[in-house]
Chain A
C-alpha cells in the first residue's frame, strides 16, 4: 500500500510531466482513465470523520476519488465473478426493486459504462425503459452502484430504471440478454487498444458484432463513439462490413435525441470536449439477415 501511494503521488503530482511522458512515444498512446480523476491528490484518504466519507457532503453522491481503479482491465482473463447462467436467471428484483412489472425486460445496454454518465442522462429521457450498464472494473462498478442508489434516495421515484453489473460483456452478453431483447446498445469511448496484437481486445470487432446482432432486436440501434481516429475508423469499417447492420441516414441521426448525448453525457466525452478534441461516431441499425 505504501509503495502504491508513493508511486501514485509521484505520477500524478506533476500533470505536465505526466503529459510529456505519455506524449513522448507517439503511437504508444495509452489511456489512463482512472488515474486523472480527482484533483486533490494530496489529501487522498480524507481526514473528515463523517458517517460515510465516500459520499459528498453537499450532493450526497459518491465521490470518485474513493473509487480509484486501474485504468485497464484485461478482458481476456478468466473471470471469477458471478454471472447468471442464462438470461432467465438474471435477478431483476434486486436491480430494479421498484419496477413491479415482472415481464419487463432490459432494453438498453451501455457496454463499458464507466462512471455511468450516459445511464443517468438516459434514465430521465426514457423513464419507462429498463437499462443496464456493464463494466468490467470492479471499483468503477461499485461507484456507479452507489451513485444510482444516491440518486434514487435524492430523487424519489426517479432513476428506478437503471442499474449496473460488473461483468465482462465481451464474454457474457448471451448470459444477460435473450435473442432480440435489446433496443439500443452503447459503446462510448471504448479502450482503443492501439497495438495490432491487442486488436482482439477491442469491444467492437467483426466476431463480437455477431453476438451484438443476436442480442439486438431487428431495428435496434448500436451507438459507438470515440475520440481516437484510428479506432473510429475501425469501428465504422467493422459495422459497415457486417451483413446484419446498416447505417442510419443523416436525417435519422438528426432526429434521434440519443445521438446528441453520445458526446456530452459521459465523463469521458466531457473531458474530450474540454480539451477541444474531435469525436468519431458510428451509429448502425440491426437489420434482418440476407434471405437464403
Chain B
C-alpha cells in the first residue's frame, strides 16, 4: 500500500529555494542584492560597500544577517529613494533610511511576507503576506525613534487566501495594485486615510491563465497616469489600462523566445516570466524569463497600446538566467542577478551572479536594428570588481556551480506558485490519513 512517491510534495518544500533579488536606487546611488537571508548593499556614488546598521544589534556583529530567513522582497522608495524596505520569510519588514543605512523600523508581520511597496511620497509602506492580506504602515509615526520593533501593520485589503506576488502603488499614488497566484490583479483605491482600509475596488485586470508574477508601469503622453504591464506563469506579458481593467495587448514571450508548447499537458515548456523592468520613458521593457539564458527586450508603443518583442540579448558564455531585474531611472543600466538561497551539493550558501546591461533605453524607435543594448564585462560595470565582491560575495564563481544554479532557478518560481495537481491515488491516500475519518472508523 505504501507508495514511496506519495510524499514528494513535502520533499519539494524542504528544498524550496529563494531566488535572488536586486534593487537599484532611483538616482543610481546604490544597489542592493538579497540572496537567502543575506542583504548586500553597495554604494555606487562612493564606490564602497555599505555596512548595514540594524537598530537591534548596534554592537556591529554580522551586519549582513539582518534577516533570519529568506528575503522575498526588497525595494527602494519610488521618488527620491530615501527609504528602502526589505522583508521575507522571517515575518519581519525592515524599513531603512538609505542615507545612513540604519534600520529605522522593524514591522512584525503575522505571516511570511511576499511583497512590499512604498508610496512615492514615502509616507506609507505597504506589505503583503502569503495569506493574501495587504497591510499598511504609516512611516510618519516611526521616523522619530530608531529601530522600534513593536510596529504592526494595519490590514487594508485581502485577496481570499492567495499568495500576493506583487504589490505596486500606481504612479499617481491613487491606487494600490496587488497581483496574486489566482491569476488576479486587483486595483484598489488607496484612500485618504488608508488606516481605515482600502474598500473601494477600481477594477480587476483579468486575463492571465496562470499566477501573476510581476508588475511594472509604462508612461506616455497619452497616458500620463501610466499603463500597467504584468508578467505571469502563463508565459505572457500583458498590457493593461488599470483604471478600467481593460486588456490592451498580450505578448506571448514564451513562444516568441522559441519555447513552443510541444508538451502541453505537462506544462513544463511554458517558462514563467520572473521579472519585468521598464525604462523611465516606458518604451522599453526588459523581461526575465525562467529558463531563458539572457534577457528579452520588449518595445512598448504606448499610443498604439501594443507590446512587441524587440530583441533577445542572450547571455550564453556562462549560463545566466536572471531571477530579478532592476534599473535606476537616470542611468541607462539594467542590473540583473541570478542567484539562489541554497544549492544542493554546493558549499556556497548564498550564490548570486550580477550582470549589467548598458544602453537600456530607446531614444529613437526608428533605429531598431542599431539598438545598442549590450552586456558589460565585469571590469566595465559601475563600481567595477568591488561591487561584484560585495554583491556576489565572491569575485569569481565556478562554471559548474553557475550551471547548477541555473538549473535550480529554472523551476524555482513555478514550483513556488503553481497550483499543484495531485493524482487521484495521492489524494485518496491523503484522505485516508485524515483525522475525522480515523475517529469514525474506530
- Write the residues of chain A forming the contact surface with B, with a CB cutoff of 8 angstroms: 3, 7, 11, 75-76, 78, 80, 85-87, 170-172, 174-175, 179, 200, 206-211, 213-214, 242-244, 289, 292
Asked whether A200 and B199 contact (CB < 8 A) given A80-B421, A171-B182, A174-B204, the answer is: no
- Structural contact, A210 and B192, CB atoms closer than 8 A: no
- Structural contact, B201 and A210, CB atoms closer than 8 A: yes
A89 → chain B, closest Cβ, in Å? 9
Give the docked Cα–Cα distance between A289 and B183 (Å).
27
A147 → chain B, closest Cβ, in Å? 28
Interface residue ranges of B228-247 to A (CB < 8 Å): 245, 247
Residues of A within 8 A of B421 (CB): 80
A-B contact pairs, 8 of them (CB 8 A): A7-B441, A86-B247, A179-B245, A207-B157, A208-B158, A210-B198, A210-B199, A210-B200
Interface residues on B, range: 20 to 34
Give the docked Cα–Cα distance between A213 and B203 (Å).
12
Chain B residue at minimal CB-CB distance from A243: B199
Nearest 6 Cβ contacts at the A-B interface: A207-B158, A214-B201, A86-B206, A174-B204, A78-B419, A289-B200
Give the docked Cα–Cα distance between A89 and B157 (Å).
27
B161 → chain A, closest Cβ, in Å? 5
- Structural contact, A170 and B204, CB atoms closer than 8 A: no
Give the docked Cα–Cα distance between A162 and B181 (Å).
31
Asked whether A244 and B200 contact (CB < 8 A) given A78-B419, A78-B420, A292-B192, the answer is: yes
- Structural contact, B160 and A208, CB atoms closer than 8 A: yes
Residues of B within 8 A of A76 (CB): 161
Chain A residue at minimal CB-CB distance from B184: A174
- Structural contact, B209 and A213, CB atoms closer than 8 A: no
Give the docked Cα–Cα distance between A174 and B187 (Å).
12
Residues of B within 8 A of A171 (CB): 160-162, 182
CB of B440 within 8 Å of the partner chain: yes
CB of B196 within 8 Å of the partner chain: yes
Give the docked Cα–Cα distance between A289 and B197 (Å).
13
CB of B47 within 8 Å of the partner chain: no
Asked whether A174 and B206 contact (CB < 8 A) given A243-B199, A244-B199, the answer is: yes
Give the docked Cα–Cα distance between A86 and B186 (Å).
13
CB of B60 within 8 Å of the partner chain: no
Chain A residue at minimal CB-CB distance from B133: A207
A115 → chain B, closest Cβ, in Å? 24
Majority secondary structure, A binding face: helix
Known pairs A174-B186, A207-B155. 4 more at Cβ < 8 A?
Answer: A85-B207, A209-B199, A210-B199, A214-B204
Write the B174-211 contact mask toward A (1 if CB under 8 angstroms, else 0). 00000000111010110110001111110110111100
Give the docked Cα–Cα distance between A208 and B197 (Å).
13
Give the docked Cα–Cα distance between A208 and B158 (Å).
8
Which of B196, B199, B247, B420 gathers most chain A CB within 10 Å?
A: B199
Residues of A within 8 A of B441 (CB): 3, 7
Asked whether A242 and B199 contact (CB < 8 A) given A174-B184, A292-B192, the answer is: yes
Asked whether A170 and B160 contact (CB < 8 A) given A80-B421, A206-B197, A210-B201, the answer is: yes
B15 → chain A, closest Cβ, in Å? 21
Give the docked Cα–Cα distance between A207 and B204 (Å).
15
Chain A residue at minimal CB-CB distance from B182: A171
B173 → chain A, closest Cβ, in Å? 13
Residues of A within 8 A of B161 (CB): 75-76, 170-171, 200
Residues of B within 8 A of A75 (CB): 160-161
Asked whether A85 and B196 contact (CB < 8 A) given A76-B161, A80-B421, A171-B162, the answer is: no
Asked whether A86 and B200 contact (CB < 8 A) given A7-B440, A171-B182, the answer is: no
Interface residue ranges of B246-287 to A (CB < 8 Å): 247
Asked whether A85 and B206 contact (CB < 8 A) given A7-B440, A171-B160, A210-B201, the answer is: yes
Chain B residue at minimal CB-CB distance from A208: B160
Residues of A within 8 A of B182 (CB): 171-172
Residues of B within 8 A of A7 (CB): 440-441
Chain B residue at minimal CB-CB distance from A201: B161
Asked whether A86 and B207 contact (CB < 8 A) given A210-B201, A214-B201, the answer is: yes
A269 → chain B, closest Cβ, in Å? 26
Give the docked Cα–Cα distance between A206 and B155 (Å).
11
- Structural contact, A80 and B201, CB atoms closer than 8 A: no
Chain A residue at minimal CB-CB distance from B245: A179
Residues of A within 8 A of B186 (CB): 174
Give the docked Cα–Cα distance between A141 and B379 (Å).
65
Give the docked Cα–Cα distance between A211 and B203 (Å).
10
Give the docked Cα–Cα distance between A208 and B196 (Å).
15
- Structural contact, A207 and B160, CB atoms closer than 8 A: yes
Chain A residue at minimal CB-CB distance from B188: A210
- Structural contact, A213 and B199, CB atoms closer than 8 A: yes
Asked whether A85 and B199 contact (CB < 8 A) given A3-B441, A171-B162, A292-B191, the answer is: no
Residues of A within 8 A of B157 (CB): 207, 210
Residues of A within 8 A of B200 (CB): 210, 213, 244, 289
- Structural contact, A80 and B419, CB atoms closer than 8 A: yes
- Structural contact, A213 and B420, CB atoms closer than 8 A: no
Write the B150-168 contact mask toward A (1 if CB under 8 angstroms, else 0). 0000010110111000000
- Structural contact, B160 and A175, CB atoms closer than 8 A: no
- Structural contact, B162 and A175, CB atoms closer than 8 A: no
- Structural contact, B419 and A179, CB atoms closer than 8 A: no
Which of A172, A206, A210 gathers most chain B CB within 10 Å?
A: A210
Give the docked Cα–Cα distance between A181 and B42 (Å).
51
B192 → chain A, closest Cβ, in Å? 6
- Structural contact, A211 and B206, CB atoms closer than 8 A: no
Chain B residue at minimal CB-CB distance from A170: B160
Residues of B within 8 A of A243 (CB): 196, 199
Residues of A within 8 A of B245 (CB): 179
Which of B161, B184, B192, B196 gathers most chain A CB within 10 Å?
A: B161
Residues of B within 8 A of A200 (CB): 161
Give the docked Cα–Cα distance between A87 and B203 (Å).
12
A17 → chain B, closest Cβ, in Å? 14
Give the docked Cα–Cα distance between A3 and B432 (Å).
12
- Structural contact, A213 and B201, CB atoms closer than 8 A: yes
- Structural contact, A289 and B199, CB atoms closer than 8 A: yes
- Structural contact, A211 and B191, CB atoms closer than 8 A: no
B158 → chain A, closest Cβ, in Å? 4
Residues of A within 8 A of B207 (CB): 85-86
Residues of B within 8 A of A292 (CB): 191-192
